[in-house]
């Protein structure tokens, strides 16, 4: 998971917010890079997971939260299949861990662009179809209470808070079973 930015350019404390919702018995770590495209995440994700898997002591990674794809959408060279193939590869790299993946929310980049909206919708359809006993979809696209800030891309503070309540609920739903 990476930090989020707000419209004013300040970082939103995503890790702190998620940690607050999950409680002190769960350790939340930031390993993402803001602005990164899904197609470039695999090597770093693999290195991070291997580092924790090979450690003799310390925390283990049981859940991976993927906010992946929003930065791929405006890239004219990436096709929906490229993005969803990257999602499938990232999920596969997580092994048997629980994966919580978000759908992509609309941004100002879509205004007047049916092509970008169609691309995002196609990616979201595929993400929704990935749901199973290991993969949990957090559907930001269908959430009506999320607002994008004045920059047209990043969530407002209230929407980030709501997003991390949704992520925490997803994680808790498969740890309490």
User: Which CATH number fits the domain that encloses residue 128?
Assistant: 3.40.50.1110
Mean pLDDT value across the chain: 85
- Pull the structure tokens for residue 153: 């891309």
pTM, two decimal places: 0.86
- 55 falls within a domain: no
Angle formed by the axes of helices 80-93 and 42-54, to 10°?
10
- 56 falls within a domain: no
Instruction: Name the 3-class secondary structure at 138.
Output: strand
CB 122 within 8 A of CB 88: no
Q: Name the pLDDT band for 152 (thresholds 50, 70, 90).
A: confident
* Measured distance CA(76)–CA(124) in Å, rounded: 17
Q: Name the pLDDT band for 26 (thresholds 50, 70, 90).
A: confident
- 151 falls within a domain: yes
- 115 falls within a domain: yes
- 54 falls within a domain: no
Residue 177 has a pLDDT of 47
Q: How many domains does the chain have?
A: 1
Residue 136 has a pLDDT of 96
- 75 falls within a domain: yes
Residue 151 has a pLDDT of 80
Over residues 40-66, the mean pLDDT reads 88
Domain span holding position 161? 4-46+61-175
Asked if pLDDT for residue 1 goes beyond 80, the answer is no
Instruction: Name the 3-class secondary structure at 73.
Output: coil
CB 116 within 8 A of CB 76: no
Over residues 115-121, the mean pLDDT reads 87
Biggest CA–CA distance in the chain, Å, is: 53
- 51 falls within a domain: no
Residue 16 has a pLDDT of 86
Residue 2 has a pLDDT of 56
């Amino acid at each position: 998971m990476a930090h989020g930015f707000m419209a004013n350019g300040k970082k939103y404390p995503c890790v702190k917010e998620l940690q607050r919702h999950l409680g002190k018995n769960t350790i939340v770590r930031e390993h993402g890079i803001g602005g990164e495209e899904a197609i470039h995440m695999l090597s770093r994700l693999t290195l991070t997971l291997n580092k924790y898997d090979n450690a003799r002591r310390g925390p283990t990674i049981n859940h991976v939260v993927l906010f992946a794809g929003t930065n791929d959408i405006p890239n004219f060279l990436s096709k929906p299949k490229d993005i969803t193939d990257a999602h499938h590869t990232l999920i596969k790299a997580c092994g048997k861990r629980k994966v919580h993946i978000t759908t992509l929310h609309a941004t100002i980049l879509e205004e007047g662009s049916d092509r970008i909206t169609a691309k995002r919708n196609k990616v979201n359809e595929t993400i929704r179809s990935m749901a199973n006993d290991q993969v949990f979809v957090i559907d930001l696209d269908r959430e009506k209470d999320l607002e994008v800030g004045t920059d047209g891309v990043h969530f407002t503070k209230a929407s980030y808070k709501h997003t991390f309540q949704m992520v925490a609920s997803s994680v808790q739903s498969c740890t309490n079973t």
